[in-house]
Structure 1
């Protein structure tokens, strides 16, 4: 019974933890401009993140090492440093976006300007990382994030023309007024939002934090293969709400208030209360994960002592790295840069940097020296190679499409 409850809790946490500020903003933007004609990208991204996270979790459980430890060992310091540089910068952008997302959500709940909430959010992130146990931190934010199911409830309450939505999803096409390059630019952004690298850094490092062994592989696989797809359905619901309310009205999403507007219209004040709780929980949970991931990547690569289970005095450089990342995020947001804009750029650059972390994990998960008998099977390798091609194409196409489309404008 205890193991069954652990599996159920892990799945629920994975669902609630799947959606962050990148998924909220990108799915709403795409829904408001393209309807559900890009929903296929969500499906591709969900399968990809399941594959990536499952391999990373298996590497951590079988070898006892987290992502950047094996990257440095397997690829060497020079190639590993290139991976570290790209991944860390993307992670830092995401930290900034998530803290900004928390502040924007708190502004909607309180009417206090978001700039005043930014230092509060950053301090709260540090206090939780410093004082709260890993399992409690992960489970509470994930479970509170489940309140974002209100997007799905609101979609039904809006009583859309399901035939139209199904037509958009099953026969995708570029809508009138949009261009083919813009369509593909947002396809890459949506893909990057679903396969954000920090999720994998956190997942594999969390496996080490919690002392996973090969005995935990079944539970890990269930968490990923059930929780993430159900989380992906939340993403589709967000896009669906935007397609029903914002697309017909010609409202382009430029703020978090527009992301949650369809929920207020469909589910009223009660729905609005739920969605605000969900957005705060999702962005705050992601801020915790991205901050920890920043410390994980640096500490694992350079061989520092790391982990939430260690007190700051026992892992000083790990904790100092996270404090510096929070301060950098604060400094960037203090300039008045739009957190929504930072989010939109962060998901695209996530897609650009993805090959640098995906390829090493694919290599290590096939290495018997690390994995023993738990190397990838033939089917996983076929799928893994197919996704490597997709990831490389998305990475190479992102910058040209960003230039041609003016970042989707």
Structure 2
């Protein structure tokens, strides 16, 4: 039973990384416009995040230190600062969007204006980050987020033409009413959503919080190779539901309520209840994940005491960062900025930050000073190097595609 709950860290990371507010909407939008023709991007993202999450988790388990802590020490303060600025800009933007996503989920459940929920959600997230134990956080929201499996059940119940879905996924073609530039813009967005920088920082820092040692490498790998593929499969199920219900009617998905509609059609009120629970758990879990990642990275860069495993008074600066970030997120959202729009921008900007995130991890995972006999093998280095090329291409293409397509319009 203990080992079963140990895997919950990977589940939380997967639910909060692959299936957060951005992925919920992006996969629904992509499914409604492109069908399953961009499913290959999710698969590529699953493999990539597994490669680098395994590295960062192994670094944490073997060295007993989080990845960001070692990046500054190994590559120097300038590279560490570049990494910090790039990743924090994206992570803070994502944190703001996730709090907005929780408010949208609560609006669906209560019909109360989301702007009335935003201060409540911001306060609730901060209280959880301040007072709730890490193990409770990961188990509660990670396991509750599994209710999103209802999308896979709904897809089955909708009775789609499986051969047609498979043809779209295996032989991707750009729909006649979509441009190549728009297709690749959303490909970059899906890839950025799958490999957002905060996922690896949260995962490695969470391993330190959990007290992983070299003997726990098996548990760490179970987290990676169960949690992240599960998140990816849920993403494909969301896209599949949108493909079946919306694409034949040329309806473009752009709200959270539309994402829930296929489940309601297939499974009725019970399905709606489960999907609302999943929306809340996934977005709240992602808000906790991104909020902690902001605090982890800043505290680790400056060498402050950090973590939920220490008393708040001993990590006062870490908790101050969490408080200030939460206040800033609420303040931005109360300007009436659209959380969905913020999320769409955050996943694209995430692609830009990827090289500065993943190159240092590859360097640290090959350093015998920290890793001893647990340095990368040929397979890890080969895949890591291949994905560095992919993330460089995605980073270079992100802004031009955003400008040329007017953010996918």
Distance 1:10 1:352 in 2: 26
Matched, 1:171 2:171: yes
8 Å Cα contact 2:7-2:219 kept in structure 1: no
For residues 240 and 265 of structure 2, the distance between their equivalents in structure 1, rounded to whole angstroms, comes to 14
TM-score (norm 2): 0.97
- The residue that corresponds to 1:283 in the other structure is 283
Give the CA deviation at 1:129: 1.1
Instruction: Give 3-state SS (helix, strand or coil) of 1:314's partner.
Output: helix
Task: Deviation per CA, 1:38-89: give whole Å up to 9, x if none.
Answer: 0000000000111111000001111111121111111111121111111111
Deviation for aligned residue 1:145: 0.2
1:292 maps to what in 2? 292
CA distance in 2, matches of 1:12, 1:319: 25
Moved more, 225-234 or 270-279: 225-234
Q: 1:252 deviation in Å? A: 1.2
Question: In the alignment, does 2:379 pair up with 1:379?
Answer: yes
Which whole-Å deviations, capped at 9, do the CAs of 1:310-347 have from their partners, x for residues lacking one? 22211111111111111111111101111111010111
Please give the secondary structure, in 2, of the residue aligned with 1:232: helix
> What CA distance in whole angstroms lies between the structure 2 residues aligned with 1:237 and 1:87?
29
Any idea what SS the aligned residue of 1:315 has? Answer: helix
Equivalent pair of 2:13/2:199 in contact (CA under 8 Å):
no
In the alignment, is the contact (CA less than 8 A) between 1:45 and 1:195 conserved in 2?
A: yes
Is the CA contact 1:15–1:146 (under 8 Å) kept in the aligned structure 2? no
The residue aligned with 1:75 is: 75
Q: Can you list the C-alpha shifts for 1:116-147, whole angstroms capped at 9, x where unaligned?
A: 11111111111111111101101110000000
Aligned partners of 1:14, 1:290: CA distance in 2, in Å? 10
Task: For 2:377 and 2:186, locate their aligned partners in 1 and report how far apart those are by CA, in whole Å.
Answer: 33
When residues 246 and 111 of structure 1 are mapped into structure 2, their CA distance, relative to the original with a 3 A threshold, is: same
Q: Is the 8 A contact 2:15 2:286 kept in 1?
A: no
What's the counterpart of residue 391 of structure 1? 391
Distance 1:14 1:286, change over 3 A: closer
Give 1:107 shift: 0.2
Contact 2:11-2:226 within 8 A present in 1 as well = no
User: Which of structure 1's runs of 4+ aligned residues deviate more than 2 A?
Assistant: 5-18
TM alignment of 1:93-112, pairs within 5 A? 93-112=93-112
Matches within 5 A, 1:294-309: 294-309=294-309
Q: Does 1:30 align with 2:39?
A: no
User: Per the alignment, do residues 364 and 391 of structure 1 end up closer, same or farther by CA in structure 2, a change over 3 Å counting?
Assistant: same
Q: 1:247 to 1:8 in 2, by over 3 A?
A: same
Question: Structure 2 unaligned runs (5+)?
Answer: none
The CA distance in 1 between the partners of 2:209 and 2:389, in whole Å, is 32
Q: CA deviation at 1:14?
A: 5.4
**Matched ranges for 1:340-359 at <5 A:** 340-359=340-359
Q: Which residue of 1 aligns with 2:405?
A: 405
- Spell out the pairing of 1:185-224 with structure 2 (5 A cutoff): 185-224=185-224
Contact 1:7 1:222 in 2 (8 A): no
TM-score normalised according to structure 1 size: 0.97
CA distance in 1, matches of 2:50, 2:8: 18
Task: Assess if the C-alpha contact under 8 Å between 1:16 and 1:143 holds in 2.
Answer: no
Offset at 1:11? 5.8
Residues 3-48 of structure 1 show CA distances to partners (whole Å, capped at 9, x for unaligned) of 3x34565565555444211211111111011000000000000001
Greater shift after overlay, 306-315 or 29-38? 306-315
Give the CA RMSD over aligned residues: 1.2
